[in-house]
Amino acid sequence: MSAPLIWIFLPLIVGGLSLLITRERSATMIGGGTAIILAVAALLVPIDEALSLGSFSLKVASSFQILGRNLTLDSSEAPLLAILFGVTALWFFGAESVGVARRLTPFGLIIISLLVASIAVQPFLFAALLIELSVLAAVPLLSPLDQTPSRGVIRFLIYQTLGMPFILIAGWFSAGVEASPGDLALTIQSTMMLGLGFAFLLAVFPLYNWIPLLMEENSPYIVGFLLWLLPTVTSILGMSFLDRYAWLRTSEQVISALRVAGLLMVVTGGVWMAFQRHLGRMMAFAAVAETGFILLSLSLDPKMGLSIVFLLLLPRGLGLALWVLSLSILDSNTESLRFSSVQGLARTYPLATAGLIIAALSTAGFPLLAGFPPRLALWNSLAQSSLGISFWLLIGILGLATGAIRMLAVMVMADEKTAWTSKESLAQRGMLSIGMIGLFILGLFPQAANPILDKLPLMFQHLGH
């Protein structure tokens, strides 16, 4: 028994088999159940150590060899696995209430198993290939068989596919730079390749036009799942690069590039969100800004930056899940997600509206909500190095907050005679409540996640020590 068999091949097989499921409830139970079992197992089962259960002894090996290379998941990666599968379970359980469980469960499991494989593969450079495979697996998820593929899906595939070659070539160049650190031309070429690769994969400004298109044209819940999972794993790949190559993490130019790219994403994401008139597009720009926060964190002192990146993980996952769940409920009950269609829906869908506003405010770093502690830490650290940058961060955050307030204003703009009622189903109310309570708990007691988050930096040999 080895860890990759449990956390990569098992969800892959279950995902493949669950393509045969025809009932929403069964898909939810199998997908959510598998994800939660794998999350708990990541916390409880020791890797590379004997586990004794009475007279029975079991040892889970960390490596699995495939075609001459290793897939390795050691104990330092267990907290990340717990977070990834735990948050995925939340997404799967929520999927039934918006009627997308039969689509999300099989492909979601396949995608997460490929992305875990991308974290496990040695050498880590090959992760780009596995990320590309997960992008291919996301295509049937995003475009149902009875619909012509939308512009957003086509652009998503093109941009993500173009990112892979750049990352692979950059990895080869980086090894060359490490061997001859004085070669300036090689360093520049390597940095350019790496920058372009991550610009495509993380949808860095201005390559993010597919995100609002996808949100407008597809099921918000499914797009939200991908907007949470793909950038999270791609960021880990980026951190692996910084960890592996000393010349990268000590390069002033790389740090500046990360900072400028992150700031551009936060500012453009925030400001664009403030001016949108479509709830889906608003969330898309907020997701862009979220990725910007991660890039900004990576531009800080490595130890501090890494802590903030991991502090952003849970609020991002939970916030996006709540946001898209609320959007999906509204989407299935209105003509579209344009302001003109959703105006005044707070009186008929109060919980979905509350979920929407709370998730948006959390993204804007509103106090008492989950997004506040990491943004405060980020702002504080940035202010110590440059007041100008922290001012621009403020502009971005103000944009996000303005968007949230505009949303609130539109949603409550109902005829006074409209009676207050709650049209959400029981399952929807339950999932929305869990999401909102979760955001408050993480905002009020950010240290609650510390037992898991504290161990995450150990994944990285140099950044985390």
Partner 1 sequence: MIITIVSWTAIVILLITSTGLLLYRDWRWGLGFLAGQYAGVFWLVLQHWPLGMAAAKLVGGWMATASIGMTLLNLPQQPESIEKYWTQGRTFRLFMIGMAALLALAAASIIESILPGIGIPVVIGGVLLTSMGLLQLGMTTQILRVILGLLTTLSGFEILYAAMEGSVLVAALLVVINLGLGLVGAYWLTASSEEKAA
Residues that bind partner 1 (CB under 8 A): 66-69, 121, 126, 129-130, 132-133, 136, 139-140, 143-149, 151, 154, 157-158, 161-162, 164-165, 168-169, 172, 186, 189
Q: Which is nearer to partner 1, 140 or 344 (CB)?
A: 140
Classified as helix, coil or strand, 295 is helix
Residue 149 or 430: the one with the smaller Cβ distance to partner 1 is: 149
Quick check: bond before 123 cis, omega within 30?
yes
3-state class (DSSP) for residue 278: strand
Closer residue to partner 1 (CB): 144 or 367: 144
Q: How far is the CB of 147 from partner 1 (least distance, A)?
A: 6
Q: What is the rounded distance in angstroms from the CA atom of residue 380 to the CA atom of residue 372?
A: 12
Asked whether 144 and 174 are in contact (CB, 8 A), the reply is no
Helices 220-244, 279-298: crossing angle, 10 deg rounding:
10
Helix, strand, or coil here: 120?
helix
Q: What residue type is assigned to position 417 of the chain? A: K
In the bound complex, what is the minimum distance in angstroms from residue 149's beta carbon to partner 1?
Answer: 5
Q: Which is nearer to partner 1, 167 or 404 (CB)?
A: 167
DSSP 3-state of 100: coil
Nearest partner of 456 among 127, 298, 230, 236, judged by Cα: 236
Q: Which is nearer to partner 1, 19 or 139 (CB)?
A: 139
CB nearer to partner 1: give 147 or 253. Answer: 147
Nearest to 359 by CA among 398, 395, 394, 317: 317
Name the strand (E) or helix (H) holding 72: strand 69-72
Supply the minimum distance, in Å, between the C-beta of residue 27 and partner 1: 20
Cβ atoms of residues 4 and 117 within 8 Å: yes
Report the nearest approach of partner 1 to the CB of residue 216 (Å): 16
Q: Tokens in use for 35?
A: 């994800």
**Total Cβ atoms within 10 A of residue 418:** 12
158 vs 437 by CB, closer to partner 1:
158
> Minimum distance between the CB of residue 126 and partner 1, rounded to whole angstroms?
6
Nearest distance from C-beta of residue 31 to partner 1, angstroms: 22
